[in-house]
Amino acid sequence: MGKSSGHDDTAHDGTHAPMVQEVTDFEVLEIALRELAIEKGLFTAEDHRHYTEWAEQMGPAPAARLVARAWLDPGFKELALTDALAASREVGIDWLHDPPTGFGSPSDFTLLHVLEDTPTLHHVVVCTLCSCYPRPILGNSPEWYRTPNYRRRIVRWPRQVLAEFGLHLPEGVQVRVEDSNSKHRFLVLPVRPDGTEGWTEDQLAEIVTRDCMIGVALPRPGVTSNPSRPEHAAARPIAGHQPTEEIR
């Protein structure tokens, strides 16, 4: 965008600080849209605030809890595999009633399917068409999950792409890629790793990272966070945004 603003844009000659930090066209567009939508009665400012509160608290902790409990309790595991929404409620996430809509989150729908790994079968989730992801129980999707690169390649070269994530699957393990292209959302239930005998649910939940539940990593004793990756910083991040290393 050019100099459509009327403010004194003298930064070019270097004499008049302060620099005005460039606002992106998308920031401006969103503000304009939201104001018009409120003025036309499409929704209220309170609706927006209310939904933001719900969206901001989403994260992967309840999903990790679901996996840990399934490892410990065969009855709960059966529930997770046959009625994942009921199992979600047991760990504090009600897909239907938690979002302010009363009908679930519009983009995530109200259906979860848990994919059970075995010693000879490994699942990995992608949405080749956009970024469908079980947000209500796993939080917002990571940037790499949305990239065309991941979406193009994981369905065709899954073992190679998993290896790039540091996950080398042996010959005895089959790969099953789940292309999440419709209204079901998917969560991987990994195999409980050796070395966790006698652990509590809290201890187990610690090692169930977001990456494990997408299927690009395996849980390991002592590993309680996603691998360190380059992080693209935001110009004006969400207030209170956690650094990546704190997102489990």
Partner 1 sequence: MPNSAMGDHVSQLRPALHEFEDWVYPDGFAHSLFEAFMKNPHDVGGEPDAPAVFEEKQEEQWELNTFVTCEVLAWRGIWTSEERRRLGNVDVGRTQYHGLPYYGRWALAASRILVEKRYITLGELIERVAEVRQRQSVDGALTADPRTTGDGTAVVRNRHHAEAVGKGDPQCFAGQAGDPRFAVGDPVRVRQLPTLFYTRTQEYLRGVRGTVAKVSYETVLPEDEAFDREDLRPKWYYIVRFEMTDLWEGYAGLPGDTLQAELSEMWLEPAD
Residues 167-196 touching partner 1, rule: CB under 8 A, are 171, 174-184
Size, binding site for partner 1 by CB under 8 A: 106
Token code pair at residue 157 = 């070269």
Tally Cβ neighbours within 10 Å of residue 73: 14
Cβ-based neighbours of 227, under 8 Å, separated by 6 or more: 165, 166, 211, 217
Is 88 among the residues known to form the active site? Answer: no
Q: Compute the distance between CA of residue 111 and CA of residue 88 in angstroms, rounded to an integer.
A: 11
Token code pair at residue 159 = 């073992």
Nearest CA to 114 among 67, 164, 50?
67
Give 197 or 246: the residue with its C-beta nearer to partner 1.
246
> Which of positions 101-130 make contact with partner 1 (CB under 8 A)?
101-107, 109-111, 113, 126, 128-130
Q: Does 199 bind partner 1 (CB under 8 A)?
A: no
CB of 198 to partner 1, least distance (A): 33
C-alpha triplet 37, 40, 43: angle, nearest 5°: 50
The residue annotated as part of the active site, out of 88, 105, 131, 141, is 131
Is 127 among the residues known to form the active site? Answer: yes
- From the list 64-72, 188-196, 200-208, 240-248, the region that binds partner 1 by CB under 8 A is 240-248
Q: Would you give the binding string for partner 1 spanning residues 215-234, x where CB under 8 A is met? A: -----------x--xxxxxx
Token code pair at residue 228 = 């360190």
Q: Compute the distance between CA of residue 219 and CA of residue 146 in angstroms, rounded to an integer.
A: 23
CB 155 within 8 A of CB 179: yes
Is 130 among the residues known to form the active site? Answer: yes
CB of 237 to partner 1, least distance (A): 5
CB of 124 to partner 1, least distance (A): 10
CB of 205 to partner 1, least distance (A): 21
Token code pair at residue 210 = 């977001």
Q: Does 89 bind partner 1 (CB under 8 A)?
A: no
> Which of positions 11-70 make contact with partner 1 (CB under 8 A)?
18, 20-45, 47-48, 51-52, 55-56
CB of 68 to partner 1, least distance (A): 24
Give 160 or 200: the residue with its C-beta nearer to partner 1.
160
Q: Which amino acid is at 156?
A: R
Q: Does 78 bind partner 1 (CB under 8 A)?
A: no
Which stretches of 91-183 are DSSP H helices? 135-138, 143-146, 148-154, 158-164
- Give catalytic residues, as residue numbers: 127, 130-132
